[in-house]
């Protein structure tokens, strides 16, 4: 792990209810994306939704666990998402490369935010469905809520608040 100057008032561990609610929030957000792209099909299979889910599982669930979470102060601790605990079950401490992880995260999270929006617009152009329009609107505003408010709440209480490259609460 990098030598870091920690935010002394940051939480050593986040409460379990926080971890549960934040994970639930992410799962529901991704579920809206999955449903919104469901009708982009090939041979009756929702291939775009399946690729989206697989991408999240592999990149967020494995690659970033190794490069970000296994190299994080919260490795084997209850960070705001509990992913430090998860990473400790999957990888040795410092198994990954934090700089590489940050670079990957900077590409992956915008892709997860904007990719489904573009796919849902295409789906609507191909065939208008109220449910797809509903998912598009919900996914759009949910993404803004995450970026502008929810993300900051975790970072504001994080020990890495002032030193993390991805912090949304440096001030």
Site residues (vs ligand SF4, CB under 6 A): 80, 154-155, 158, 160-161, 164, 166-167
- Smallest gap from residue 147 Cβ to ligand SF4 (A): 12
- Smallest gap from residue 7 Cβ to ligand SF4 (A): 9
Q: With 0-12 CB in 10 A as exposed, 13-18 as middle and 19+ as buried, what is 170?
A: exposed
- Count of other CB atoms within 10 angstroms of residue 14: 21
Torsion, CA 89, CA 92, CA 97, CA 102, rounded to 10: 20
Determine the 3-state secondary structure of 158 from DSSP: strand
Instruction: List beta partners, residue 11.
Output: 158
Nearer to ligand SF4 (CB atom), residue 66 or residue 80: 80
Nearer to ligand SF4 (CB atom), residue 48 or residue 158: 158
Q: How many CA atoms are closer than 13 Å to the CA of 8, on its beta-carbon side?
A: 0
Nearer to ligand SF4 (CB atom), residue 123 or residue 167: 167
Q: How many CA atoms are closer than 13 Å to the CA of 109, on its beta-carbon side?
A: 13
- Smallest gap from residue 167 Cβ to ligand SF4 (A): 4
Nearer to ligand SF4 (CB atom), residue 135 or residue 158: 158
- Smallest gap from residue 154 Cβ to ligand SF4 (A): 4
Instruction: List beta partners, residue 158.
Output: 11
- Smallest gap from residue 112 Cβ to ligand SF4 (A): 15
């Amino acid at each position: 792990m990098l030598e870091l100057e920690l935010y002394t008032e940051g939480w050593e561990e986040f409460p379990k209810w926080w971890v549960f609610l934040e994970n639930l929030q992410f799962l529901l957000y991704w579920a809206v994306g999955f449903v919104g792209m469901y009708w982009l099909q090939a041979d009756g299979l929702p291939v775009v939704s399946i690729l989206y889910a697989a991408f999240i599982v592999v990149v967020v669930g494995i690659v970033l666990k190794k490069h970000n979470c296994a190299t994080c102060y919260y490795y084997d601790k209850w960070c705001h998402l509990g992913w430090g605990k998860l990473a400790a079950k999957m990888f040795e401490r410092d198994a990954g490369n934090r700089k590489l992880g940050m670079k990957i995260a900077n590409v992956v999270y915008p892709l997860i935010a904007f990719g489904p929006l573009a796919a849902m617009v295409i789906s609507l152009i191909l065939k208008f469905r109220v449910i797809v329009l509903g998912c598009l609107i919900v996914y759009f505003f949910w993404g803004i809520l995450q970026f502008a408010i929810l993300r900051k709440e975790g970072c504001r209480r994080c020990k890495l608040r002032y030193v993390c490259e991805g912090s949304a609460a440096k001030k």
